[in-house]
A and B are shown apart, each in its own frame.
Chain A
Amino acid sequence: MSKSNGNRPARIGFYVCHCGHNISGTVDVAAVARYAQALPHVVVSREYKYMCSDPGQERIAQDIREHALNRIVVASCSPLLHEHTFRTAVEKGGLNPFFFQMVNIRENVSWVNESPEEATEKAMDLARAAVHRVAFHKALEPKRVPILPDVLVVGGGIAGIHAALTLANAGRKVVLVEREPTIGGHMAMFDKTFPTLDCAACILTPKMSQVKNHPNITLWTYSEVSKVEGYVGNYTITVRRKPRYISEKLCVGCMECIEACIYKEGKFPDEFNAGLSRRKPIYIPFPQATPQVVVIDPQTCIEFKTGKCKKSCLEKCDRDAIDFSQKEVVEEIRVGTVILATGYKTFDAGRLPHYGYGKYDNVYTSLEVERLVNASGPTGGELILRDGRRPKTVGIIHCVGSRDRNTNRWCSRTCCMYSLKLAHLLKEHTDAEVYNFYIDIRAAGKSYEEFYDKLLEENVHFIRGRVAEVTDWTARPSEEGKLVIRVEDTMIGVVRRIPVDMVVLAVGMEPQFDAQEVRRLFNISCSTEGFFLERHPKLAPVDTFTDGVFIAGACQGPKDIPDSVAQAGAAASQALVLIDSGSIELEPNTAYLVEEDCSGCKSCLTICPYHAISHDEARKKASINEALCKGCGTCTATCPSGAIRQNLFEDEEIYSEIRGLLTPMPAEAQGGESC
């Protein structure tokens, strides 16, 4: 305990925060302050309403000067929230910021423990541990690493597009990687957008071509990130570019090769039209696809399957763009920051068999209907059902795979509004009677409620109740040949049967099928539902727990277009903050070697996943490259002779914390109590 700043004895300032009532409602903060005051080396002990406020911070700085304090302990919230704040305050007082230790008595105590006595005792224990520990703290210099100015954006939906363009317009070089043969994502499939009803393609495609033509953007479609190495400011990313068997440089998108394909008609489900139409093995996803480059699907192409095709496509192409021998290309890029905008997938309606999707032809998902009403869709915008009829009555079922304990508990946030939009479009296209079956209408957005009002005026029917089933079981002659929606109308308390020609399932939004793999790749976390986890739900919504990796759009949670775009802009500007500052301060928690203690046993070499430790053959000692070290401390725990140490988590710091927790201090013993 005599260890201190230089050779002077420790003079500790202890501060306990009320956090309004958040802490003081459970923990007797005055008692904690009194208790800490009696601990050895504690010179000043105070309680304060909000330690993180300016006066709170100023108090610390002032005390350091007035009382010649050389160590500071603050008992308040989680260090993940305010450690940086208080370190800054300590620095302002003229001390090295690392002569500081934080005690978490909010998240770890007052918010999880109910009994004031137990909570107060726990807070005292934790305070004692920190007072023990802080005496051993050393002065440290934060490590600064430079930030490479280039950015990787993963995912070419509206969020990825917007983020890439924002950065490119700010003069940064961006690589945009998209898995599909074209960018555009889900938005490209939509017909109109709510509540303004502007055409999705009209507002999206100009942005898509901007991406293609922007001198600062490198667009890699049909490509996937396969490896991520490095750390904030300095990532090395490996991207696999799948062969599309067409040279992107040579193809001009004339599509004559598609015309020439030996398949005279499309035969395979067209992904872009949600399987409602058929495409050929050689195709372009949709007319405005970006890049305007054809792709050959080797799964269905005769040449790839048999090697015996007459390859009329090849003959037709006067630019020799078709290349059946094209191979996958692996590219490696170096970027400083990453924006993930990998989007979402729609709920698989087949998981609710009582809604008849996949069983009854005229049950559609909302995404299919987007294509069905679209002028460039499978029916040219004519609303013709799978059985060739035009619907006279349509039922839209809300919350399919949302707000449901049996599937997904969350609200997908977009379905109410897009259902209203589809109701409007269906009415416009067919003049059919349209029924919405809803639980609640959630129209919380600018001009959204007004849009709902408009729909009510358009005589769209709204029935409040979760639909029990969609069935072809008819109870009366008028239902013959129809699909019957059975629902409890909770407004009137009656079970109703509504016969319709067409059912639209408003499917919810789910995490991408490979969200878990992507999360591992970029070393970030997912929330319980499987969407990417933001660093703080309110204050850091586009940051992740991995510095330099940001998230935007529906990969973070269900979101509509305006929100995705706003978030993409935010993510881009967060990346710019890093880039423009030129470097980032890292926790100086790296490992270092006390050479005279090293026996050269090499136990540490295989332990480090970052290859930061090597063996110096000449000196027969380990050698640590601090630039590569990420500060996990695994080597420190491994070293049998204690020669490897970790800044901020030194053995004696942790031991003193353990001892502090468990050993009652002399003051307590004098008080006549022991725990």
Chain B
Amino acid sequence: MRYLYYPGCSAATTGKAYEKSLLAIFRALSLSMDELEDWNCCGATSYMAIDETKAFALAARNLALAEEQGRSSGSGHEIVAPCSACFLVLTKTNQYLRDYPEVRSRIVQALDAAGLTYHGTVTVRHPLDVIVNDIGLERIEKRVTRRLKGMKVACYYGCQMVRPFKTFDHAFYPTSMDRLVKALGADPVDWPLKTRCCGGTLTGTIPEAGLRLNRLLIKDAVKRKADMILTCCPLCQFNLECYQDQIAREYQEKIHCPILYFTQLIGMAFGLGDDELGMSLLFQPPTRFLGKQKGEAAHV
């Protein structure tokens, strides 16, 4: 199986740990991912909110490049976008180009100006979808060398991956990550907040609103005895992880919960090294489990 890979801006910056661990587990599974050459901003948040056409044009450029690269290099027509925001914008653009002729005609013009064409053949995939549905949990389970027994995990899907476009899981009660966690030997906790807002960009613009949403999530996960929250989006991960000190100060309460990428947890179960998985890049590392992991990993 070959995929094209669209990192997006986060993977290159705040979400480096996500990219590192994602590439590491893909290597471990002998899956090929070819980075899209000359990719640009996906068109998310600020663009999409202010000028949809520009956002569509940016996303469509990536899709057009992907279509061409996929054809010429034989990397196929599926592009993996690990960031939920990228995933959403690329998916939305694909659908709007297909369903709305007026959007299509404007974007075709824009692409034309850049000497590009897009025929709508690219499929946008989230790595969680690829892992659960293409590779399959059976294969994942076989590859596990460290069953994460006793680890309680709150699986957090956030909003953008499942809504409004229901692509590979339920829009309000997704379960793919929970099933994945089970396959790794850990216990997913039943967590009704798994698709609620992480605070998004509100943490930057209206911090009191953003932090309140953020705090609700962490508090309830801890209340349900989760050892960590698992995320599938760099923004969610950043929001949940980086404001814990601030929340503790403002609400005058103790709050602590490691926030990992689901790819890091897969890597742990695969027995990959902490460095390979970007564990050192975490502000709230799951120390308790890392120690164990390291000790056991030595025997592999």
Contact surface of A with B, Cβ cutoff 8 Å: 353-354, 359, 406, 468-469, 471-473, 475
| Other-chain contact of A472, B171, B172, B192 (Cβ < 8 Å) | B192
B220 A353 Cβ-Cβ under 8 A: no
Chain B contacts for A353, CB-based, 8 A: 170, 172-173, 175
Asked if B193 is at the interface (CB within 8 A of a chain A CB), the reply is: yes
Q: How distant is A667 from chain B, measured CB to nearest CB, in Å?
A: 43
The distance in angstroms between the C-alpha atoms of A354 and B220, with both chains bound, is 17
Q: How large is the interface on B (under 10, 10 to 19, 20 to 34, 35 or more residues)?
A: 10 to 19
Q: Are A354 and B173 in contact (CB under 8 A)?
A: yes
Contacts of A471 in B (CB 8 A): 192-193
A475–B193 CA distance with the chains assembled, in angstroms: 12
Is B275 on the interface with A (CB-CB < 8 A)?
A: no
> A473 to B224, alpha carbons, bound, how many Å?
10
Which of chain A's residues have a CB closer than 8 A to the CB of B170? 353
Tell me the bound Cα distance from A311 to B106 in angstroms. 79
User: For residues 213 through 248 of chain B, which have their beta carbon under 8 Å from a beta carbon of chain A?
Assistant: 216, 220
Contact mask B163-207 → A, CB, 8 Å, 1/0?
000000011110100000000000000101100000000000000
- A354 & B172 in contact (Cβ 8 Å cutoff): yes
Closest 7 CB pairs of A and B: A353-B173, A471-B192, A354-B172, A473-B192, A354-B173, A473-B193, A473-B220
Instruction: Output the nearest chain B residue to A486 by Cβ-Cβ distance.
Output: B192
Contact present for A359 and B216 (CB under 8 Å): no
Closest CB in chain B relative to A640 CB, distance in Å: 47
User: Could you list 19 A-B pairs, sorted by A, with CB under 8 Å?
Assistant: A353-B170, A353-B172, A353-B173, A353-B175, A354-B172, A354-B173, A354-B192, A359-B190, A406-B171, A468-B172, A469-B172, A469-B192, A471-B192, A471-B193, A472-B192, A473-B192, A473-B193, A473-B220, A475-B216
A276 to B190, CA, bound (A): 24
Q: How far is the CA of A468 from the CA of B190 in the complex (A)?
A: 18
A195 to chain B, nearest CB (A): 34
Q: How far is the CA of A468 from the CA of B172 in the complex (A)?
A: 9
Of all chain B residues, the one with the shortest Cβ separation from A475 is B216
> Closest CB of chain A to B209's CB: distance in Å?
14
Docked CA distance A406–B192 (Å): 20
CB distance from B165 to the nearest CB of A (A): 13
Query: In the complex, how many angstroms separate the beta carbon of A550 from the nearest chain B beta carbon?
Result: 40
Q: Return B7 CB to nearest CB of chain A, in Å.
A: 32
**Which chain B residue has the least Cβ–Cβ distance from A356?**
B192
Give the one of A468, A472, A473 with max B CB within 10 A. A473
Q: A353-B173, A353-B175, A468-B172 are known; give 14 further A-B pairs, CB within 8 A.
A: A353-B170, A353-B172, A354-B172, A354-B192, A359-B190, A406-B171, A469-B172, A469-B192, A471-B192, A472-B192, A473-B192, A473-B193, A473-B220, A475-B216
Whole-angstrom distance between the alpha carbons of A353 and B172 in the complex? Answer: 8
Q: Which residues of B contact A473 (CB under 8 A)?
A: 192-193, 220
Chain A, Cβ-Cβ closest to B166: A406
A168 vs B172: C-alpha distance in the bound complex, in angstroms? 52
Nearest-neighbor residue (CB-CB) of B172 within chain A: A354
Q: How far is the CA of A353 from the CA of B157 in the complex (A)?
A: 15
- A569 CA / B171 CA spacing, docked (Å): 44
In the assembled complex, the Cα of A472 lies from the Cα of B220 at a distance in Å of 10
**Which residue in chain B gives the minimum CB-CB distance to A472?**
B192
Q: How far is the CB of A10 from chain B (nearest CB, A)?
A: 51
In the complex, what distance in Å separates the CA atom of A475 from the CA atom of B223? 12
Among residues of B, the one whose C-beta sits closest to the C-beta of A484 is B192
Q: How far is the CA of A143 from the CA of B171 in the complex (A)?
A: 58
Which A residues touch B173, using CB under 8 A? 353-354
How near does chain B come to A483, taking the closest CB pair, in angstroms?
10
Q: Give Cα A386–Cα B214 distance, bound, in whole angstroms.
A: 34
Distance of A473 Cα from B195 Cα, bound (Å): 13
Residue of A nearest to B193 (CB): A473
A-chain residues with CB within 8 Å of residue B220 when the two chains form the complex:
473
Give Cα A472 to B192, complex, Å: 7
**In the complex, what residues of A have CB within 8 A of residue B171's CB?**
406
Residues 131-174 of chain B: 1 if any A CB is under 8 Å from the residue's CB, otherwise 0?
Answer: 00000000000000000000000000000000000000011110
Query: Which residues of B have CB within 8 Å of A406?
Result: 171
Cβ contacts under 8 Å, A359 to chain B? 190
CB distance from B16 to the nearest CB of A (A): 32
CB distance from A490 to the nearest CB of B (A): 19
Provide the bound-state CA to CA distance between A473 and B193, in Å: 8
Return A437 CB to nearest CB of chain B, in Å. 16
Separation of A475 and B192 alpha carbons in the complex (Å): 12
Name the distance in Å between B295's Cβ and chain A's nearest Cβ: 36
CB nearest to B191 among chain A residues: A473
CA distance A603 to B75 in the complex (A): 54
Shortest Cβ distance from residue B187 to the other chain A in the assembled complex, whole angstroms: 16
**Nearest Cβ in chain B — how far from A354, in angstroms?**
4
Residues of B within 8 A of A472 (CB): 192
Contacts of A468 in B (CB 8 A): 172
> Nearest residue in A to B196 (C-beta to C-beta)?
A473
Closest Cβ of chain B to A154, distance in Å, is 37
A473–B213 Cα distance when bound, in Å, is: 13
Residue numbers in A under 8 Å from B192 (CB-CB): 354, 469, 471-473
A583 CA to B98 CA, complexed, in Å: 57
In the complex, what distance in Å separates the CA atom of A475 from the CA atom of B212? 12
Nearest A residue to B175 via CB reads A353
Report the bound CA distance from A479 to B151 in whole Å: 28
> What are the residues of chain A within 8 A of B216 when measuring CB–CB?
475
Least distance between B83 CB and chain A CB atoms (Å): 25
Closest CB in chain B relative to A611 CB, distance in Å: 49
CA A469 – CA B192 in complex, angstroms? 9
- B33 to chain A minimum Cβ distance, whole angstroms, is 32
Q: How far is the CA of A354 from the CA of B175 in the complex (A)?
A: 11
Closest B residue by C-beta to A351? B170
Nearest-neighbour CB distance to chain A for B170, whole angstroms, equals: 6
Interfacial residues of chain B within 63-93, with CB under 8 A of chain A in the complex: none
CA distance A471 to B224 in the complex (A): 13
Task: Please name the residue on chain B nearest to A470 by beta carbon.
Answer: B192
Q: Kindly provide the distance from the CB of B110 to the nearest chain A CB, expressed in whole angstroms.
A: 32
